[in-house]
Amino acid sequence: MVRALESADLTIPGGDYVAIMGPSGSGKSTLLHLLGCLDRPTSGSYRLDGREVGALGEEDLAEVRGRRIGFVFQFFHLVPRLTAAANVELPMLLAGVRPAERRERVAAALASVGLSDRADHRPDQLSGGQRQRVAIARATVMKPAILLADEPTGNLDRASGQEIIELLERMNRDGLTLVVVTHDPEVGHRARRIVRLVDGRIAEDGAPS
């Protein structure tokens, strides 16, 4: 068995802005998956909002992911056949939010990422930066406790990447806990705190130098 993470003692206070950095294979993805409840720790514990979630069953874990965690991926992961609005609506569909409320919150989420006029566009009609903004709207529409962004600018040109980071930072300023995984030092150094992983261990944890 390969141990992706050896020991990772990490506490992220609400509203924090953390960048997880490190070379590939250092365990940053595994850490992100643990934080996102996509994976369960083989040992140790993970408390989210003061609640132990490391040992929850599939169904409960799914609910935690749906309500407390927002994901933003390098490759956007929009459902290609659905419009921007429908993509943003998806987490609420799964959570069983009522239609009238869904419509309102979709509109608000799209407005917050500046894409109100693109609601009826399908992903292939949007630019990369716009797609990532739809993904951010989707990730935040459930008002999660924490937003996990996995190389959010990795697939974007500089200008769009810049816009995306600024958007995420604005949301962080409004109180959203933000965790960005990146190997781009320029992105990482904007965070309030950098966690540097090497060989599955936290080599460094502190404000950017």
Partner 1 sequence: MGLYEQVRFAFCAVSGHRLRSLLTLLGFGIGVAAVVLLTALGEGARAYVTSEFMSLGSNLLIVLPGRIETSGAAPLIGGNTRDLTLADMESVRRQVPRARHLAPLSVGAAQAAFGDRRRQVTILGTTSEYLTLRHMTLTSGEFLPALDADREAQVAVIGETIRKELFGAENPLGRSMRVGEWRVRVIGVLEPKGMTLGMNMDEVVFVPVASAMRIFNQSSLFRILIEAAAHADIEDVRRDVLKTLATRHDGEEDVTILTQDSMLASFNRILGALTLSLAGIAAVSLSVAGIGIMNVMLVSVSERTSEIGLLKAIGAPPRAIQRVFLVEAILLSLAGGILGLAAGYLGAGVLGHAFPSLPARPPVWAVMAAIAVSFGAGVAFGVMPARRAARLDPVTALARH
* The one segment of 77-85, 124-132, 182-190, 191-199 that binds partner 1 by CB under 8 A: 77-85
200 binds partner 1 (CB under 8 A): no
Stretch that binds partner 1, among 5-13, 71-79, 123-131, 178-186 (CB under 8 A): 71-79
Does residue 138 interact with partner 1 by CB under 8 A? yes
Residue 143 binds to partner 1 (criterion: CB under 8 A): no
Give 152-157's long-range contacts (Cβ < 8 A, gap of 24+).
152/72, 152/73, 152/74, 152/180, 152/182, 153/182, 153/184, 153/187, 154/74, 154/182, 154/184, 155/74, 155/75, 155/76, 155/128, 156/128, 156/129, 156/132, 157/128, 157/129
Q: Using alpha carbons, select from 32, 166, 76 the residue that is nearest to residue 88.
A: 76
Report the nearest approach of partner 1 to the CB of residue 63 (Å): 6
Q: Which region, judged by CB under 8 A, interacts with partner 1, from 85-93, 161-169, 180-188, 190-198?
A: 85-93
SS3 196: strand
Nearer to partner 1 by Cβ, of 168 and 194: the residue is 168
Residue numbers at the binding site for partner 1 (CB under 8 A): 33, 36, 38-39, 58-59, 62-63, 65-67, 71, 73, 75, 77, 79-82, 86, 90-91, 93-96, 138-139, 142
